Structure 1
Amino acid sequence: MESLGDVLKRMPSGRDALQQADSMLQKLLADPLVEKLRAKHPELDVDTIRLNLNRVYQHVKEYRVCSNCPGLDNCPNDFEGHYTMLSCETIAGQVQLDDRRVPCKKLLARQRENQIRGRIRSFYVDERALEQGYSAEEILFNDTERLKAAGQVMEYIGRTKEEGLQKQGLFLSGSFGTGKTFLMCYMLHELAKEGYTGAIVYMPDFVEDLKALMHEPGKLKETVDLMKDTDLLVFDDMGAENLNPWVRDHVLGAILNYRMNRKPTFYTSNYDLDMLEQHFSFTNKEGEELHKGRRLMDRVRPFVDTVVVTGHNKRGGRS
């Protein structure tokens, strides 16, 4: 539906123009939307509508578009994601018709989703994992072998919503491609709706990047502080990284030491806790250091509940 200005430009001048303008007025007066507006505001007379023909036409046009919405990205309204809302009031005996741009439900939903995503930081994890927005039913029933693990994660989400931020995190262990990362992304998204901030860190790439950050102390401090302070921190694929003593003792150790008894930390791993301790006890530079591996695990093991994730390998498809 074109704009009123475009319609009037095609009209002839003089008497014919007045007749066609009057014809358009009559069509608007007969439109159910205008009838509804006049029923709500009995003081809205024909002369006021005639004086505000463009506003009324815009309201009707945009309402029709919204009723058959082509999607937010294809919105043809003058202001994307907005429609014209009319209001009527009487001031000093004079009826006035005002218009304002109102965001539609789809725009409000997108803005809220962007706000939620803005609470979650991703380090080296595919952003699509945070954007898929699966329903609780899909989480629970996509893979019945994963049902118990999914239920434990859902229970944790519910407990946090009811009681507030927990001090205890989760340790998700299982074989490749069973959906551990996916479950953690779902948890971050659901709790971001409640206002919690979160970060998910893919450990193999993060550890490699830390080696470069050694020479950028300001950036390193900013990254470590973010991981200390975020409400929910997920270390993804823990145990797959190539550790060195500095990363283990001065970066991971500092982050976990700060968070324990304050904020929950979460892990996904192909290892169980005992195997992870062995991994922490060996570095590519120092060889075997059992006491340092055990010291780091003392900041992990007491502060997580273990969730064993079983199921089919879903790599290359939806999790």
Structure 2
Amino acid sequence: MIKTNNFIKKGKKAIQDDLRREFVLASKDPDFVKLCARLKSKDEILMKYTSKLETSVLELKNCAKCKGLNYCSNEVNGHVYYPVNKGDFIEFIYKPCKHYKKEVTTNQTKFFETPRILMNASLSELFNEKERNNIIKYIKNFLKQKINNEQVKGLYLSGSFGSGKSYILSALLNELSNKGFTTANVYYPSLLKRLKASFNDYNYDEVIDEIMKTDILLLDDIG
């Protein structure tokens, strides 16, 4: 029994030594050290979570250079894997970033089968693209007129596949939503399927009303 206890003690010591070694190596990263200092916890506790803390550091670095949700490279889009001091242990949560918070609180666009990248489309990401100067100028003018409640004609954007038509108009729609307009972003082929299906359950009018009761409607990919 004594030999067994000694073996267990040696095993625990070896584990502790490995944990401390990994923690010391990770501490060579200044950002890792800053994060640990922010937690105000003992090294004996922190070193149990070295790997997870390194993940947090990596995701925080991603956030520091991130331009928006479309560029998020973290495991959970718009969130960072963040440690919280719980006294005798560290809890990790997915903390929403500033871009995610802004998107949730401002964009009230209704989306119908819209790809995620279009849901997060932003005009600010387009303004520096010189090759789009003409269309951006037109989009800015349209936006200005709508905000000033001026009479303005609808937009029809055509072009080759993959040229960015959907992204540009979705970005405009999201911006108008942020300004208080009610908007709907509809992927037209899916809308037709939905309308066809609605004939069977007698809610055709509900589908139409849901779309039409908006200030601005975007029909994407009408063919």
TM range (shorter): 0.5 to 0.7
Tell me, yes or no, if structure 1 residue 156 matches structure 2 residue 147: no
Separation (CA, whole Å) in 2 of partners of 1:100 and 1:202: 38
- Structure 1 runs not aligned, ≥5 long: 1-11, 89-94, 241-319
Q: Show the counterpart of 2:109.
A: 119
Alpha-carbon distance, 1:154 to partner:
0.8
Seen in structure 2, the aligned counterparts of structure 1 residues 99 and 228 have a Cα distance that, compared at 3 Å, is same
Structural mapping, 1:19-168, within 5 Å = 19-22=14-17, 24-25=19-20, 28=23, 31=27, 32=30, 35-36=33-34, 39-40=37-38, 44=41, 48-51=42-45, 53-54=47-48, 56-66=49-59, 75=75, 82-87=80-85, 96=88, 98-103=90-95, 105=97, 109=99, 119-122=109-112, 130=118, 133=121, 135-138=126-129, 141-142=130-131, 147=134, 150-158=136-144, 160=146, 166=149, 168=151
Separation (CA, whole Å) in 2 of partners of 1:13 and 1:63: 32
Alpha-carbon distance, 1:67 to partner:
6.2
Seen in structure 2, the aligned counterparts of structure 1 residues 223 and 116 have a Cα distance that, compared at 3 Å, is farther
Q: Which has the higher helix share?
A: 2
Count of aligned pairs between the two proteins: 199
Separation (CA, whole Å) in 2 of partners of 1:188 and 1:128: 14
Alpha-carbon distance, 1:101 to partner:
1.0
Separation (CA, whole Å) in 1 of partners of 2:193 and 2:17: 73
Separation (CA, whole Å) in 2 of partners of 1:188 and 1:121: 11
Aligned letter for 2:109? R
TM-score by length of 1: 0.42
Q: Show the counterpart of 1:171.
A: 154
Q: Show the counterpart of 1:232.
A: 216
Cα deviation per residue 1:23-69 (whole Å; 9 max; x = unaligned)? 53365367256653565577x4xxx4425642x42543323543676
CA contact (8 A) 1:120 1:199 kept: yes
Aligned letter for 2:91? D
RMSD: 5.3
- Structure 2 runs not aligned, ≥5 long: 1-6, 63-70
Alpha-carbon distance, 1:157 to partner:
1.8
Cα deviation per residue 1:75-122 (whole Å; 9 max; x = unaligned)? 4x9xx954241337xxxxxx65543413364xx746866888872445
Select the structure of larger CA radius of gyration: 1
Aligned letter for 1:137? N
Seen in structure 2, the aligned counterparts of structure 1 residues 23 and 167 have a Cα distance that, compared at 3 Å, is same
Alpha-carbon distance, 1:21 to partner:
0.8
Q: Show the counterpart of 1:187.
A: 172
Highest relative contact order (Cα 8 Å, sep 6+), 1 or 2? Answer: 1
Separation (CA, whole Å) in 1 of partners of 2:221 and 2:58: 47
Seen in structure 2, the aligned counterparts of structure 1 residues 234 and 167 have a Cα distance that, compared at 3 Å, is farther
Q: Which has the higher strand share?
A: 1
Separation (CA, whole Å) in 2 of partners of 1:98 and 1:201: 44
